[in-house]
Every structure is written in structure tokens, then in C-alpha cells.
Structure 1
């Protein structure tokens, strides 16, 4: 018997399939592009949001979101390892002292890596980049009387190294300088020191040279005693 029209179960409509989350798709794309580093943070943020939008009874694409987050995580670990390895080994991204700060100086000059006790100089500055060498037998202003290794730390600009240098250089002067001869010749001298300039210091050069300076270039001949200790460091 036919049922009257309007009674019973009308023809059903097939259930609509949930849409795939656009954020999940974006998470996957950005996660896979993590080799560029910049997409990593957006991938993680969008992935977390996509997880809340997907799942049973929600939009599709949860697997895409999880895959994108996993890819972003792997790329993040890789970038952290790469940066950590580089920052942990300064030689990987900076020049060594020999190439950056200890290049061969011009003829007749010396720098912080080639200077040595016993060298005579023309009017050097406190931070050594390059100094002009002089013949000790001719009138000159400065002679290197010894060297010490400065305490490690930030570059000592200004007078931060002065107290340490005074202690070491007074000891070296008492050991190496022929003070009686200078006094007899009535030569006025000051005790000084030459430290590395900033670039050399930041590359690990810590040798500081003690000097005896005659402002009027009255030094002629070496100020050192016979058999003076010319080791670096001295003493």
C-alpha cells in the first residue's frame, strides 16, 4: 500500500564533508619552508591554532597541521644547532689573530705580534697598530724593555690597564734597565707600555710591552743591561 505523500521519511541528503582547514594547509607549507628560518614562527603559531580547529566533528586537516608543526620543529632544531655551533667556535666566523691583527707590517715597522724586547722605536702610541723601528745606536725616543701577559677581559681602552702595567713594568725595569748609566748621562725617561689595539685584543692577543721613553729622543744606544731578559713574557 502506498503511503500518502507527505508521510514517512523523505529522501535524505548526503552529509557534507567538512572543509579542510586553511590554517592547517598554511602550517604545512610554512613548516616545509623552514629552511628559510623566517617561516618557522608563523608555522608554529598557525599550527597551534589549526589544531584547535581540526579533529573529530571539526574541520579536516589535523594531519596537515601536525605534519607542518613537525617539519617546523625539525627545522628549528637544525637552526639552533647550526647557530650554537657557530657561536661556540669564534674561529668559524672571525679571522684568526695571525690574519686579522698580525699581518706582516710595512718594512721598518713592527706591530703587536712582531714587536720584541730590545726593539728601539720612534714615538709610538699607546695602542699598537704599527710602530716605526729605529736603530738603537741612533737617537730615538723609545726602547722596549720587556713584556708581560695582561689579565684577560674586555679591551682596556683608556687607562684601564695602567695599574697592572705599572706593577709589571716597574719590576721589569728594575731587572733589565741600566739605570746608573742613564742617570750618569742625565737622560730623562718615563716608564710606559704598549698594548694591543682593539681588533688584536678581541682576537685574543694579550701581550703588553713595557717601554722606556725619552720625550726629547735623547736615547742613544740600548738602555738594557748586558744579558737582559728578553723573553716574552719577561721574568
Structure 2
């Protein structure tokens, strides 16, 4: 039907613009000028959860961030839900392992697995060590073990050195060692030292100790055989 006002296109004046209010929108464009079928972004928190759960001592943080990432990726709002789930699982395992290690250290459960410093040795402890039987001063890799299993020696006396004692420390002979260790020992321990089958060794943290360093007097079998029980 022709326009009664003579409009050659047959469209009455005042009809809404088919391109939208601004005249610039494209057909099919969502409100606000966005792009149709736009993919959600990967959630950074979920990725961080996965990474932290793989690192030492940050498993708990990875576990917490995993739950946050799980919430942020719910319903497909963001990608990365798999990272969040992996962060939760690995973070939980890492946290359990960390707690178990702390408990083991606190209760002595790692005895015999980790080296012990001479300054940390205690009277009555049994030890294994590399070079203990050679008596060449090169004792390393000292580990505290149960006295009912084979061991290289037993600590029978310890003493913190004063500054003057540390300055004068030079135990190159068995006589020097006996002179230093004997005052620390009781009657039974002195009897062991006098027994020819046993040999007394004095150890310090470093070859030339400092004030406050400990000297540990250790008894072992003279023939180098291991001990298998706690000595009286």
C-alpha cells in the first residue's frame, strides 16, 4: 500500500530505527555491545591452588584456595574447575604429610633417619656414624638409633665447653680424652672405660670447638664390631 504522504519507501514517519537507539548495534548482538558465545576466562585462583598444592609446605594454602576456586567456577562462570579439584586433593595430601612429619619429629619418629649434630647428642643415646671405628677424626653422618638394634657406639657423657676449655681443646691422645671424659662418668661407666674391649672417643661439632659447643664422650667396641644393647 502506498504512503498517503508520498513516502516512496512505504514506511510511515516515526517508526523505530531497526538498528537500535544508537544506530550502531549489529543484528544479534547482546545488550551492552558484547560478543555472542564469548568463552569464560580461566580462574586464576583455581590455577594458583593447583600450583601451591605441588610446592613444599604450601599444601594447606593450596587446599584453601581450591575450595575458593571451586565456588568461583560453579555453573561454568569461569574455567579451571579441574585445577581447583586437583588443588584440593593434592593440598589435602600435602597437608596430611606435613602434619605427620611434624608429629614424627616431635615424638622422635624419625630417629635413625636424619643426621644429628654432636651438640644435640644426649647422655645414654646410641648412635651410628661413618668413621667412628677408624678414630681418624673424620666422624660424619651421626644418627641416633634404638639401643636394641645394632649401633656403633653409645654416648656416656656430655659437657658444654667454656671459652677457656674450647680454646685449649686438643684431644689427640686417649689420655687427653680420658682426662676430659672421666669426671662426667659414674662408677659403672668408668668400669666400662677400664674394660680393654671398649674404646672411648670424644667428639665435638667442629674440629676446633667454640664456647658453648658440646663434647660428647662415646664408648664403642675396640675391635670395631657393632653393639646390640644398651650398656649399663
TM-score scaled by structure 2?
Answer: 0.39
TM-score (structure 1 length as normaliser): 0.38
Q: Which has the higher contact order (CA 8 A, sep 6+)?
A: 1
